[in-house]
Amino acid sequence: MPTISVRSSAGAYDVVCEPRSLARVPSLIRRLGDSTGAFVVSSPRVWRHWGKTLAKILGAPAKKPILFDDSESAKRLSTIESIARQLVRAGADRRAIVIAIGGGVVGDVAGFAAATYSRGVRLVHIPTTVVAQVDSAIGGKTGVDLPEGKNLVGAFYPPRLVVADPVFLSTLPHREFRSGLYEVIKYGVIADRRVFEFLARHMDAILRRDPASLGYIIPRCAAIKAHVVSKDEREAGLRQILNFGHTFGHALETATNYRRFLHGEAIAWGMIAATLLALAADRLDERSANRIIRLVLSVGPLPPLSGIRTIELKRVTASDKKAHAGRVRWVLPPRIGACKWGIELPWSLAARAFAELPLIAASNGR
């Protein structure tokens, strides 16, 4: 499954998703048509690991990259202004191509810069984290945060090309790598039983970053994301299944001011809670629920939930931008490999699921 096609309102684009696809980037970019130049946007951290390799492969555009600090706090409007000004000074015009090389922060920021620079220039994503390869580079969401909240300013701006080479994952810090795996598990639970079974059987190899295992799992997850956003670009329906684990997950991130959990780690707790909720609501059988929870826990220890109160989570989930008039609509799996969205349930069931989480952690030896 090396090349996956994604449909979008701005036209179809390819996600090239295989080992050694990086070497093909120059020829793939040439296929996008004439341009007045390609401009690389990345981060110092990514560049430290990959700058030399990229300069060899991409040539001139990678010799003078536009680098910005890709911590979440740099994902803000002033960074867009800075990138746009550097693009002007580098001579980028309307027929330029922006190549975003990095994780989700680089992709979201460079993507929004490409969406707005000269009212939109062509965008190529070269994702370098698990999250970016299976999630953020596909689907066209770009944007930045405001002090008032995450991703509050942005645009749907589909790329013209995505090249996801698993080789990049070899240099990811282990906690980042593991955190991305929770989103991979999410795809198995909501959409593909075979992915779930593969993860259950090969988690050790995946945690060792065995290239063959990653080469199997990354394209499959990218294909699931591609399928979902091709059917529902604007999140009117099906795309909501991607929010499995995210209702509780976002609440945990907010309740801890985004300091305690990496995103995937919060989603891991969120998936466990949603699974317990599905079980409590009689919407999922006990064996499947246990398997999902076991798989999530098999990725390794999660930051603790200490000090987070259920009442606080209720307040945060009710005010989440995805809640409707204060009513939470849950995304729950009726079985492994399938998902339903828009489910309303009494809060008491959700509170019970959350209250059970520390027991789950304890039963797993933590």
Ligand X SMILES: NC(=O)c1ccc[n+]([C@@H]2O[C@H](COP(=O)([O-])OP(=O)(O)OC[C@H]3O[C@@H](n4cnc5c(N)ncnc54)[C@H](O)[C@@H]3O)[C@@H](O)[C@H]2O)c1
**Catalytic residue IDs:** 119, 141, 183, 225, 235, 239, 243, 246, 250, 263
Contact set for ligand X, span 159-188 (CB under 6 A): 168, 171-172, 176
The span of 18-26, 88-96, 98-106, 345-353 binding ligand X (CB under 6 A) equals 98-106
Interaction of residue 135 with ligand X, rule CB under 6 A: yes
For residue 357, give the 3-state DSSP assignment.
Answer: helix
Query: With the CA atoms of 343, 349, 352 and 357 taken in that order, what torsion angle do they form, in degrees rounded to the nearest 10?
Result: -10
- Closest residue to bound ligand X by CB: 104
Q: 176 or 320: whose CB is closer to ligand X?
A: 176
> CB of 153: closest distance to ligand X in angstroms?
12
Interaction of residue 61 with ligand X, rule CB under 6 A: no
Interaction of residue 233 with ligand X, rule CB under 6 A: no
Interaction of residue 51 with ligand X, rule CB under 6 A: no
Binding-site member from 14, 15, 41, 45 for ligand X (CB under 6 A): 45
> CB of 250: closest distance to ligand X in angstroms?
11
> CB of 287: closest distance to ligand X in angstroms?
30
**Beta-carbon contacts of residue 290 (< 8 Å; ≥ 6 apart):** none
- What is the maximum span of the chain, computed from C-alpha positions, in angstroms? 60
> CB of 346: closest distance to ligand X in angstroms?
30
Q: Read off the amino acid at residue 346.
A: P
Helices within 232-346 (DSSP H only): 246-255, 263-280, 286-297, 310-319
**How far from 75 is each of 102, 146, 262, 267, CA to CA, in Å?**
13, 9, 16, 20
**DSSP readout, 268-301?**
HHHHHHHHHHHHHTTSS-HHHHHHHHHHHHTT--
Binding-site member from 51, 104, 158, 219 for ligand X (CB under 6 A): 104
Interaction of residue 103 with ligand X, rule CB under 6 A: yes
Binding-site member from 17, 40, 46, 336 for ligand X (CB under 6 A): 46
> CB of 268: closest distance to ligand X in angstroms?
13
Query: With the CA atoms of 286, 240, 180 and 109 taken in that order, what torsion angle do they form, in degrees rounded to the nearest 10?
Result: -170
